[in-house]
């Protein structure tokens, strides 16, 4: 529905041949992106940008970084240019 609403630029709808993967619930939204994980620190050290089916892996990476004392935010943009 969002791609159809764009009338001032070209759009592409891409269907992957691979599995979609498990659903990952957003904890918030900011600037047209789903926030998948908020940082534990007031200011994160790292921003991880997830795209589609990579979300679960990006959340695992955030957990690994957290175990090393590195704070991160994980976001999933609605659009990738």
> Is 10 part of a structural domain of the chain?
no
> Is 36 part of a structural domain of the chain?
yes
Q: What is the pLDDT along the chain (81 residues), one digit of tens a residue?
A: 566 676 777 766 666 677 777 888 999 999 888 999 998 878 889 999 998 788 999 999 999 999 999 999 999 987 766
3-state secondary structure of 52: helix
> Is 22 part of a structural domain of the chain?
yes
Vertex 44: Cα angle to 66 and 34 (nearest 5)? 95
Distance separating alpha carbons of residues 1 and 22, to the nearest angstrom = 22
CATH number assigned to the domain comprising residue 64: 3.40.50.920
Q: Look at residue 17 in the predicted model and tell me its pLDDT.
A: 75
> Which parts of 1-81 fold into alpha helices (H)?
2-5, 55-67
For residue 41, what are the contacts with CB-CB under 8 A and spacing of at least 6?
71
> Is 60 part of a structural domain of the chain?
yes
Q: Look at residue 38 in the predicted model and tell me its pLDDT.
A: 92
- The number of domains in the chain is 1
> Is 64 part of a structural domain of the chain?
yes
**Whole-prediction pTM value?**
0.74
For residue 48, what are the contacts with CB-CB under 8 A and spacing of at least 6?
37, 58, 61, 62, 72, 73, 74, 75
Residue 36: which domain range? 17-77
């Amino acid at each position: 529905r969002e791609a159809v609403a764009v009338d001032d630029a070209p759009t592409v709808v891409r269907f992957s041949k691979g599995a979609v993967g498990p659903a990952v619930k957003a904890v918030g939204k900011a600037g047209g992106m789903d926030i998948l994980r908020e940082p534990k620190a007031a200011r994160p050290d790292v921003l991880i940008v997830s795209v589609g089916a990579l979300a679960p892996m990006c959340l695992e990476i955030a957990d690994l970084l957290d175990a090393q004392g590195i704070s991160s935010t994980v976001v999933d943009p609605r659009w990738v240019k």
